[in-house]
Structures are given as structure tokens and as C-alpha cells.
Structure 1
Amino acid sequence: MPNPFSPFDELAAVLLAHTQNLSNDGSHDQSHLLRVWKNVCAIQAKEGGDLRILLAATLLHDCVAVEKNSPLRSRASTLAAEQARHILSNMDWSEQDCEAVGHAVQSHSFSANIQPVSLEARILQDADRLDAIGALGIARCFYTAGRMGSSLYEPKDPQAENRSLDDKRYALDHFPAKLLQLADGFQTKRGQEIARERHARMERFVEEMVGEL
């Protein structure tokens, strides 16, 4: 099986060592990093961008683990960006490249609400958000809800027709509260194309789940 990080195999091995044993969160593990990297490559093939910068940003974008329900959640990408700059500086990367990776890491997060400026930052944000939608996004949503102790849905009003959305308590609420809003915010043309396909899958899922209820 070919190495998915070729021709950056050695760099990937070094950076992945900084992501091990940070969290027991299966939605932000190394398989997540691999999926985001595949998304990055799919977008970069159409949009361009520096793959070395993108690889480092991809593998380090979650290098500081902060739980979804932590009060530090909105600062998670800033903390990860600081750590990424430190790691790469110790590897003798130039200050310019460290900053390029740091900006991409910091601006990838939905919670941080930081506008990505560089092409690489826009690509990483799109690639990471693609993993939050579609079939994989559905799986990750319910996995995370289980870890956080949330219910599947509010039994009396599952579609929140007569109540406020509360996605901290109900997994189904997370779709209108966040996931079904993500497709409108993609930064690249290729990212937008893939996002529309995955968005449609989520809409079908929600419709079918509500139909079964």
C-alpha cells in the first residue's frame, strides 16, 4: 500500500509523533488526520498551494487536545497554532514557513471564527470541515454526542419546532445548529463542490431519521 504522505514520508513520521496519545477522542485521532489530508490533496490538485506547508498544517491542526465541552474550546486552534510554530521552529523551519503553518492551523476552526487569508489556510479549513459533514460527519456527530453524554434527540419535539436548539443535550439538534450551515462557508471552489454533495447526504439523513421518529 503506497504511503499516503509521499513524498513527505519522513516529515509526516516526525510530525505524527507529536499527535500521539494526546486524546482518546476517536473523532480527532490519526484517522481523522489522514482523512483531512486526503481532502487537502483533492482540493490542492485543483486549487494549487504549497503541499509541504499543507502537510504540516494538516498533521498539527489538532496537536493540542481540547474537549468540545471545555471552556477553552474557542482557543483550541490558537493553542495548536502556538504549539505548531514551536515544533517547526525546533525543526529549523524558517520563520515565514512557521507563520504560514500557524495561520492555517489557527484559522481552520469553526469555533475560533478567524478568517483564513492564505490559500493554504483556506484549503485546510475546507478540508477539515469536509470531515464534519456528509456520512462521516453524521458518524462523528453521534460518536461525539455519546462521549459527551448527550441524548439522540428531544422526544417531544425532535425538530425543535417549539423550543430553542440545544446541541449540547441533543445530537439531532447539532444538524440545524451547525452542520447544515457549514456548506455555505467553504473557501475554495473544489471544496464547495464536495461540500454540496456531503450536505445533501446530511439532509437526506435528517429527513429519514425524522421520518422514522
Structure 2
Amino acid sequence: MDSRVVAMQEYVRGAFADSGAHGFDHTLRVMMLCRVLGTREGADMQILIPAALFHDIARPIEEETGIPHEIKGAELAEAYLLSIDYPGDLTPGILHAILAHRYRSSKVIPETLEAKILSDADKLDAMGAVGIARTFMQAGEEGGGIPDAVEHINEKLLNLKDRMHTESARKIATERHSFLLSFLERLEIERGADSYKGC
């Protein structure tokens, strides 16, 4: 791994004091997904990997201040990249991908391949088994329970499959979407009174 990426990874790790649904482990999974998708789609990894590492760096700041994390994250990324003399011609692509990655509230549409891949990778990490685990973590962090998590799965996660930008991501999303449906079906059975008959 490029020494600059290793240093970048450690810098970003320092921004996450606590674990959680959007903790540093999420950032690492998104980075790994970006490596897979980026290789398949022919992306510029010098843009994609830094964008993946910095995409959620300002989540803790957003929770404290309300400043959208994609905006503050792009600012932090720009300052860091400047401090290490990262190639200036790559910075605009990195910042665009960070600004455009957010599923719901971002007003920036992913226009580059790298931005589309980061958006896809971020959404993929909200699907499948990991997505379910993160959803229940987030519900607990917010004082909610199973019904809140199920509502989030129905309102957001089940819509993600049809919002992928790349063919590589669509293939992964189809499998993870099927798992979400199977999980919800099983959960409904186990939460129902009929599941206790004969016990």
C-alpha cells in the first residue's frame, strides 16, 4: 500500500474517537469496496482511495455542529492533501467525490467515475448483513429498537439496489438486496406469535 495512503488512513482514524454505525470500520469497508469496484470499472485509484478515506471524516463534527459532513469533510480533505503536497490536479476529483457521496441530502450529483463508485460503495455498505448490523447499531445509538431498525430498512435500504451507478455495484447490490428481503421475512416470522406455537 502506498505510504501516503497509510499515513492518510492513520490521520482519518484519529478523527473517530468512538465506534458506531458510521465509525472508522465503515470507512475501511467503503475503501475496500472502492478498491474492488474501482479495479473492475477502471477508476483512478489516486482519486478514489483518498476520497473513500475522507468521505465520513466529518461525521463526528456533523453530530456536534449540524454542519453537513460531506461539506466539512471536503474542507478537511483539501487542507490535508495540501499539507502533504498531494498532486494538485487530483484534488478536485477527490473533493467532488466526497461532496457527492451522500445518499439523501447531498445537492451534488456524482459526475465522475470515482464519485459514482464512492457513492455506490457507501450505499453497498448499508446493504446485506453489514447493513443490517449497522442499522440496528444506529437504532440503539438513537435510543430506538427493532421497529425503528425495520422502518429504516424498509424506507432506505430496500431502495438502494436501484440507485447504483456502476454495473459492478449493481451485481453486488442485487445479492445484498436479496439477503435484506430474506432477513425481513425471517424477522417477521420470529416476531410473530405463531413462532412460539409448539414450544
How high is the TM-score relative to the length of structure 2? 0.87
Higher helix fraction: Structure 1 or Structure 2?
2
Question: Where does structure 2 lack aligned partners over 5 or more consecutive residues?
Answer: 192-199
Deviations 1:148-171 (A, max 9, x none): 111211xxxxxxxxxxxxxxxx11
What residue number does 2:16 align with? 22
Q: 8 Å contact 2:30–2:125 — kept in the other structure?
A: yes
Name the aligned partner's letter for residue 169 of structure 2: G
Question: Does the 8 Å contact 1:104/1:122 carry over to 2?
Answer: yes
**Residues 66, 72 of structure 1: 8 Å contact kept:** no
Partner-residue secondary structure (3-state), 1:212: helix
For residues 68 and 204 of structure 1, the distance between their equivalents in structure 2, rounded to whole angstroms, comes to 34
The DSSP-based 3-state class of the residue aligned with 1:27 is: coil
Question: In terms of mean alpha carbon deviation, does 175-184 or 61-70 score higher?
Answer: 61-70
Contact 1:77 1:112 in 2 (8 A): no
Task: Report the Cα distance in structure 1 between the residues aligned to 2:175 and 2:73, rounded to whole angstroms.
Answer: 30
The one-character-per-residue Cα deviations of 1:24-53 (angstroms, maximum 9, x if unpaired) are 133233322221122112111221011111
- Cα deviation, residue 85, structure 1: 1.1
Correspondence list, 1:153-168, <5 A: 153=147
Q: Which consecutive unaligned segments of at least 5 residues does structure 1 have?
A: 1-5, 154-169
* Structure 2 counterparts to residues 164-179 of structure 1, below 5 A: 170-179=148-157
Number of equivalent positions: 189
Question: How high is the TM-score relative to the length of structure 1?
Answer: 0.82
> 1:68, 1:180 → 2: CA distance?
25
The residue identity in structure 2 corresponding to 1:86 is A
Q: What displacement does 1:21 show? A: 4.3
Shift of the alpha carbon at 1:71? 7.5
CA RMSD in angstroms, aligned pairs only: 1.9
Q: Which runs of 4+ in 1 moved over 4 A?
A: 67-71
Match of 1:39 in 2: 33
Residue aligning to 2:177: 199
Give the alignment partner of residue 79 of structure 1, picking from 72, 77, 80.
72
